[in-house]
């Protein structure tokens, strides 16, 4: 379900849309600014190669990673606690991933858990989330997708769910009054654009992928094949960034988008 911009004749809208006029950010550049949010992660994955790859990649992104190679070891480590996010493969020796998460939840442990699975159909995701998983990513995945989702699960730095006013730089979003303004100037948004911006602002400073937007703003989990999300984002960008400085909504090459205060 990895989203691709290369295949579509309709793509390329995102990076060169009117109003942005700036090159896409390199993921490494985004990383540098995110390093202050180092997380402690537990990866439970029985395939050694995959586990090693994840350990290496998460470390490069500035996070601390422990690895367990079966469900029982994973449960013992997870129960010790102290992790920000668990990344759990679904099919594991000794104890499967769903049972591991269900066991944790049964003990009142609410550490966010992302399920990785080769089973990627609608039913599989539903059973995974019912077992207590917070997110579900079918294999094979792009690491940038996994990283963005894990960081979103940790919910660090961004506003809390209870906040009614989101603010990034001089951009303000009032969730109760459904009003958006930048530098005091009111911006009129369509309902869907409002929800898109709301999601981006809740995850301000974090990379948000196209599939995350499709899932959280539209509640669809399939691959729309065409860059529909890019067009929505570029429309939103033309409303919130056009005529203002600095630009807040950036494209991150090969990963997705990030909304952040350029001054920081």
Partner 1 sequence: MTALGRLIRTTAFKLIAAYLLVFAIFAGSVIAYLGWHTQRLVTRQAVEAIENDTSFMQAQFERGGISRLVQVVNRRSRAPDAGLLLVTSFNGEPLAGNVLNLPLNFLDKEGWREIDYVRSEDQAAPPSRALVNVLFLPGEFRLLIGRDVVEREELRKIIIGPALWGLGLLVVLGVAGGLFVTRRVLKRIDQMTAISDGIMAGDMSGRLAVAGTGDEFDRLAFSLNAMLDRIEALMAGLKQVSDNIAHDLKTPLTRLRNRAEDALRTARSDEEWRAATEQTIDESDGLIRTFDALLMIARAEAGQASAAAVRFDLADTLASVAELYEPVADESGLDLTLESVEPLGVIGVRELLAQVLSNLIDNAIKYSAPDIPGARGTIRLAASRVDGKARIVVADCGPGIPEADRPRVLERFVRLEASRTRPGFGLGLSLVVAVVHLHGGSLRLEDNEPGLRVIIDLPLAPAMEEVAAV
CB 109 → partner 1: shortest distance, Å?
25
The reply on whether position 235 binds partner 1 by CB under 8 A is yes
Cβ–Cβ under 8 Å, residues 10 and 236: no
Instruction: State the DSSP H helix or E strand holding residue 187, giving kind and residue range, or none if neither.
Output: strand 185-187
SS3 content of the chain, % helix, strand, coil (to 5): 35, 20, 45
The reply on whether position 147 binds partner 1 by CB under 8 A is no
Size of site (CB under 8 A) for partner 1: 31
The reply on whether position 1 binds partner 1 by CB under 8 A is yes
CB 115 → partner 1: shortest distance, Å?
16
The reply on whether position 121 binds partner 1 by CB under 8 A is yes
Q: List, in sequence order, the alpha helices (H) in the chain.
A: 27-34, 48-60, 71-80, 97-106, 122-130, 143-154, 191-202, 210-217, 228-240
Q: Pick from 183, 192, 243, 246 the residue near partner 1 by CB under 8 A.
A: 192
Q: Pick from 50, 57, 91, 228 the residue near partner 1 by CB under 8 A.
A: 228
Q: How far apart are CA 102 and CA 105, in angstroms?
A: 5
Cβ–Cβ under 8 Å, residues 247 and 25: no
Which residues lie below 8 Å from residue 199, measured CB to CB, with a gap of 6+?
208, 213, 216, 217
Q: State which residue, 78 or 200, has the beta carbon closest to partner 1.
A: 200
Q: List the beta bridge partners of residue 261.
A: none
Residues 21-40 that bind partner 1 (CB under 8 A): none
Residue 162, Cβ neighbours under 10 Å: how many? Answer: 5
Only one of the segments 21-29, 47-55, 161-169, 225-233 lies at the binding site for partner 1 (rule: CB under 8 A); that segment is 225-233
Q: Pick from 218, 238, 242, 244 the residue near partner 1 by CB under 8 A.
A: 218
Residue 161 C-alpha from the chain's centroid: 16
Provide the mask over 53-92, with x wherever binding to partner 1 is found by CB under 8 A and - wherever it is not: ----------------------------------------
Name the residues that contact partner 1, by CB under 8 A. Answer: 1-2, 4, 6-7, 9-10, 13, 120-123, 126-127, 138, 140, 142, 192, 218, 220-228, 231-232, 235
């Amino acid at each position: 379900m990895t989203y691709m911009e290369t295949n579509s004749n309709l793509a390329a809208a995102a990076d060169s849309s009117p109003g942005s006029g700036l090159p896409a950010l390199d993921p490494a550049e985004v990383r540098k600014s995110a390093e202050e949010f180092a997380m402690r992660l537990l990866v439970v994955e029985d395939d050694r190669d995959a586990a090693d790859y994840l350990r290496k990649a998460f470390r490069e992104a500035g996070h601390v990673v422990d690895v367990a190679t079966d469900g029982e070891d994973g449960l013992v480590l997870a129960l010790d606690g102290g992790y920000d996010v668990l990344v759990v493969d679904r099919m594991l020796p000794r104890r499967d991933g769903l049972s591991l998460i269900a066991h944790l939840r049964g003990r009142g442990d609410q550490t966010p858990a992302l399920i990785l699975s080769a089973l990627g159909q609608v039913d599989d995701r539903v059973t995974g989330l019912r077992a207590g998983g917070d997110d579900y990513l079918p294999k094979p995945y792009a690491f940038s997708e996994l990283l963005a989702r894990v960081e979103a699960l940790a919910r660090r730095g961004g506003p809390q769910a209870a906040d009614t006013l989101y603010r990034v730089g001089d951009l303000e979003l009032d969730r109760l009054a459904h009003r958006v303004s930048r530098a005091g100037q009111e911006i009129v948004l369509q309902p869907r654009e409002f929800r898109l911006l709301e999601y981006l602002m809740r995850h301000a400073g974090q990379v948000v992928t196209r599939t995350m937007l499709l899932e959280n703003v539209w509640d669809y989990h399939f691959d729309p094949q065409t860059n529909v999300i890019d067009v929505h984002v570029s429309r939103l960008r033309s409303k919130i960034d056009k005529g203002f400085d600095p630009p807040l909504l950036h494209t991150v090459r090969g990963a997705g988008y990030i909304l952040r205060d350029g001054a920081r």
